[in-house]
Structure 1
């Protein structure tokens, strides 16, 4: 519960700090850079070396990729139908297409299914959400950015993206059976712990409830996809088509129903993909998700 309270508190802190003149206008961008270069890599070096992939956990690993895959089909079609700008489409792909499977996901899953279920949530988050935002997320951001980039330039940005570099290093540690311990582990844990509060504070500093009229439909569409449509599609796939059941299916679908990813919104903001909408997707999506998650939890108790 303390983690959930922290989410709300940090969002409110960000909103309040926006009114403090001592903070320069580019403060959120500076905070975002810290997250990308320090906090995310620290978490990768902690958790990825600990992952032990089994066949039964493949459903969990596929969850984030399926949510993003469906988004890559549905959101551009909606954008074409509603005549959204490329920036808006890219923003929604990075926010609605990627879920908050750790900051919101971990405390919610632990509260509902117990500490043992965190192993499943970790598989949704690390090989799923984390790798997706480090690879596909950068490609999406570059593709929909107003700055034209060659394929070679996009590939370079992916390969030089700090979390991706760290992922490769952490994957090598996993294969070699090496894990951070003692003082290095403690240092990484403290650095990684900065991710949620700094990210949410940054989002709060960019949050504005005076949303422009043209942003309402994209916001409603993006949140509808992330909180309702994506978990519905995975429910159909995992339960009714594949015949799955039990905690692996429940936790995977619950993770698919989480609020938009903070890191995805940070990427959208950094690349100029409708920054106001990106902040709103997280700022409104996080508290709203607590309502929809309760509904999914009750439904899954009956179905799976």
Structure 2
């Protein structure tokens, strides 16, 4: 219960800090960098060497890749039929196709499923969501903005991203059945625990709602796809078609139901793919996702 309370308190603190004049307007950027360079790598170095490698890891690993492909097929077909501008189609493919599996996902998964669930969430996020964003996401943004993809730049972004570097190192330790000395494990664990409060305060600092926007219809479609259609796909695929159960399966479906990824929205905006719509998908999507996640958690508990 205290973990759920922590989520809402930190989120509200972030929203409240928007009104504090002494707090830097772009302060959330420092929080985000701390998470990217310190908190997320620490989580990978602490948990991944301890994960038992088995076939069940395929389920969380596949979430981001299947989810993005589903988004691409859905919005590219719909965009052609409705005559959407390419930039609008590209925006919805990216923002609705990438989930907030770390900043929002980790705190919620940890609150609901504990450390065991967090292990699966890390698999969903690091070799999943980030790599998809840094490869398929960048390629999609480039194509739909009219630019040419730079393979060298994409490759450099992947291999130099701190959480990914930590993931590779931790995965090597796992394969060799090694782990870090206890004193380092304790440090990694404490640094990794900062993800929840810092990430949610950062999210709160970025929550902005424009009630006068003309994008509400498209916003509703994008969020309906991300918060309901995508997790429904994985619920049917994993639970009904494959008949799989257990924490990795439930975590995979819950992560598929997360709000749009902040980095994905930034990527779309940087390429000129409807920046206002991208921002609204985050600003509205994150608070709405808390309600839709309650629904999916209930579905998984009764199914």
TM-score under structure 2 length normalisation? 0.79
Q: Which stretch of the first structure deviates more once superposed, 135-144 or 247-256?
A: 247-256
Unaligned segments of structure 1, at least 5 residues: none
In terms of mean alpha carbon deviation, does 154-163 or 67-76 score higher? Answer: 67-76
Query: After alignment, is 277-286 or 221-230 more displaced?
Result: 277-286
Deviation of 1:182 (Å): 2.5
> How many pairs does the alignment contain?
298
- Which whole-Å CA distance do the structure 2 matches of 1:111 and 1:196 have between them? 10
- 1:203–1:282 CA contact under 8 A, matched in 2: no
Q: Say if 2:213 is the partner of 1:213.
A: yes
Contact 1:94 1:268 in 2 (8 A): yes
Q: Tell me, yes or no, if structure 1 residue 185 matches structure 2 residue 182.
A: no
Shift of 1:275: 5.9
Cα drift, residue 45 of structure 1: 0.9
1:133 and 2:136 equivalent? no
Deviation string, structure 1 residues 118-142 (Cα, Å, up to 9, x no partner): 646633x222222223322123554
Question: CA–CA distance in 2 between the matches of 1:2 and 1:268?
Answer: 35
Pair 215,32 (structure 1): closer, same or farther in 2 beyond 3 Å: farther
In structure 2, C-alpha distance between the alignment counterparts of 1:16 and 1:274, rounded to whole Å = 28
Larger CA deviation: 238-247 vs 1-10: 238-247
Alignment of 1:279-294 (within 5 A): 280-294=280-294
**Distance in 1 of aligned mates of 2:149 and 2:262:** 25
Provide Cα deviations, 1:21-55, integer angstroms capped at 9, x if missing partner. 22333322222222221121111111111221222
Using the alignment, how far apart are the partners of 1:266 and 1:6 within structure 2?
26
Residues 209 and 283, structure 2, Cα contact 8 Å, conserved in 1: no
Of 154-163 and 131-140, the range deviating more from structure 2: 131-140
CA contact (8 A) 1:10 1:204 kept: yes
Mapped to 1, the partners of 2:130 and 2:74 lie a distance apart of 22
Match of 2:202 in 1: 202
CA RMSD in angstroms comes to 3.3
Alignment CA distance shift 1:270-1:177 (3 Å): farther
1:229 to partner: Cα distance: 0.3
Unmatched tracts of structure 2, length 5 or more: none
User: Structure 2 CA distance, aligned partners of 1:133 and 1:83?
Assistant: 26
What TM-score results when the alignment is normalised by the length of structure 1?
A: 0.79
Structure 2 distance, partners of 1:93, 1:250, is 25
Alpha carbons 2:207, 2:284 under 8 Å: kept: no
User: For the Cα contact (< 8 Å) 1:223–1:285, is it kept in 2?
Assistant: yes
Matched-pair contact (CA < 8 Å) for 1:269–1:278: yes
CA distance in 2, matches of 1:164, 1:6: 27
Q: Distance in 1 between matches of 2:254 and 2:91?
A: 23
Which residue number corresponds to residue 164 of structure 2?
A: 164
Contact 1:75 1:92 in 2 (8 A): yes
Give the C-alpha shift of residue 15 in structure 1. 1.8
C-alpha spacing 1:215/1:231, structure 2 compared with 1 (3 Å): same
Shift of 1:164: 1.5
2-structure distance, mates of 1:268, 1:96: 11
C-alpha distance in 2, partners of 1:271/1:39?
A: 28
Output the CA distance in 2 between the equivalents of 1:9 and 1:90: 35
In the alignment, is residue 55 of structure 1 matched against residue 42 of structure 2? no
